[in-house]
Amino acid sequence: MICCKECLDLLHDYLDGTLSKEIEKSLEEHFEDCPPCISFLNTYKAASSACRQTLTQTEVPDEVAASLKSFIKKNIKNSP
Amino acid sequence: MTTDQKAEEEILARKLIEGDIEAFDRFVEIYQKKIYALAYNMTHNQMDAQDVTQEVFLTIFRKAHTFQGKSAFSSWVYRVALNAVYMKLRSRKKDQSISVEDAFPSFNGAGYHQEVIRDWSESAESLMFSNETKNVIQSAVDQLPEKEKIAFLLRDVEGLSTEEAAEALDLSVSAVKSRLHRARLILRKKLSGYFEEKQIPGVVK
């Protein structure tokens, strides 16, 4: 049976679904018997997801959009 | 990226190379928000993010003909954007000495978890919309070491595939994976302190 440390090294590929079936199965067997690893997996995923949810809210402010529009008009559309 | 999006990007790239100004409008429509968000998330400064976006527009317009189609068009655009971000950041180096080692959990001699791992993932969901949470998250990402931060922003925030991120960064797929993994570990560690403290009684596991 694989240990927690080995599980940690496999997390990225596990979430990407790129592990071999055999390794994926041993990892999931380990998870079944290891609450700390389940907590670790959940919080590893949650940290990434929380950051994604927050950072994808970055919008182009109206004044920046207006500046960019006039920048394009002046420097790109009117360029020779 | 879907097959349809890929096909549209190829057509767009070809038209840009031909100097089609309407294609440039479409390019702006697709990429303005993505480039601005990436620049803003790297610099945390509106003026800097605007400068970077303008720089990228100019470079794409002027150098579209140098795009050789060896990588995906989107990877090329991100590479141009990252160069502009690096130029901007070079002028304001700051101390980003966060130990990557600290982000790894501790294991005993047999390789099993040594510390108590609390699962705050469910309470995080309910705290996502507070301004305090947003500030904590933004500061955690901001403090990532630069290499890890870029891998994380491209892959987990912008949603590029590992292969596309590798092309944009001119790195191997395994290097992108390991930087992304380190970034996620650091963020987990940093956010754990905040979310554990905020954990709603009753959902403690």
> What is the per-residue pLDDT across B30-58, written as a single tens digit (0 to 9) for each?
999 999 999 999 988 888 899 999 999 99
Burial class (CB in 10 A: 0-12, 13-18, 19+), B102: exposed
How far is CA A17 from each of CA A13, A24, B127, B177, rounded to the nearest angstrom? 6, 9, 29, 13
**φ and ψ at residue B185, rounded to 5 degrees:** -65, -40
Q: Does the pLDDT value for residue B205 go beyond 50? A: no
Residues B8-27: pLDDT tens digits? 888 888 888 888 888 889 99
Spatial distance between the Cα atoms of A68 and B4, rounded to a whole number of angstroms: 28
Test B137 with A36 for CB contact under 8 angstroms. no
What is the tally of structural domains in chain A?
1
SS3 assignment, position B107 = strand
Q: Considering only alpha carbons, which residue of chain A is nearest residue B125?
A: A50
Could you list the residue range(s) of the whole structural domain that residue A63 is in? 4-77
CATH architecture, range B118-198:
Orthogonal Bundle (1.10)
- CATH number corresponding to B3-90: 1.10.1740.10
Mean pLDDT of B79-91: 88
Q: Does the pLDDT value for residue B83 go beyond 90? A: yes
Min distance A27 CA to chain B CA atoms (Å): 13
Q: What is the mean pLDDT of chain B?
A: 87
Residue A79 Ramachandran class (φ > 0 left, ψ -120 to 50 alpha, else beta) = beta
**Distance, first Cα to last Cα, chain B:** 37
Contact B160, B76 (CB under 8 A): no
Residue with tokens 């592990």: A19
Is-same-fold flag (B3-90; B118-198)? Answer: no
- In sequence order, the 6+-apart residues with CB closer than 8 A to the CB of B11 are none
Residues in A touching B33 (Cβ below 8 Å): 59-60
Q: Does the pLDDT value for residue B98 go beyond 60? A: no
Confidence band, pLDDT 50/70/90 cuts, at residue B200: low
**φ and ψ at residue B139, rounded to 5 degrees:** -70, -35
Residues in B touching A71 (Cβ below 8 Å): 54, 57
Residue to mutate among A72, A73, A74, with most B CBs inside 10 A, is A72
Contact B11, B135 (CB under 8 A): no
Spatial distance between the Cα atoms of B57 and A72, rounded to a whole number of angstroms: 8
Mean pLDDT of B1-7: 78
Confidence band, pLDDT 50/70/90 cuts, at residue B119: very high
**Cβ count within 10 A of residue B97:** 7
Confidence band, pLDDT 50/70/90 cuts, at residue B91: low
Q: What is the mean pLDDT of chain A?
A: 91
Residues A17-41: pLDDT tens digits? 999 999 999 999 999 999 999 999 9
Q: Does the pLDDT value for residue B95 go beyond 50? A: no
Mean pLDDT of B186-204: 80
What is the structure's pLDDT at A79? 65
Chain B contact present for A45, CB below 8 A: yes
Test A68 with B53 for CB contact under 8 angstroms. yes
Query: How do the domains of chain B map onto residue ranges?
Result: 3-90, 118-198
Residues B170-189: pLDDT tens digits? 999 999 999 999 999 999 99
Radius of gyration of chain B (CA): 20
Query: Which residues make beta-bridge pairs with B31?
Result: none
Confidence band, pLDDT 50/70/90 cuts, at residue B6: confident
Spatial distance between the Cα atoms of B108 and B120, rounded to a whole number of angstroms: 23
Q: What angle do CA B84, B166, B143 make, to 5 degrees?
A: 60
What is the structure's pLDDT at A50? 94
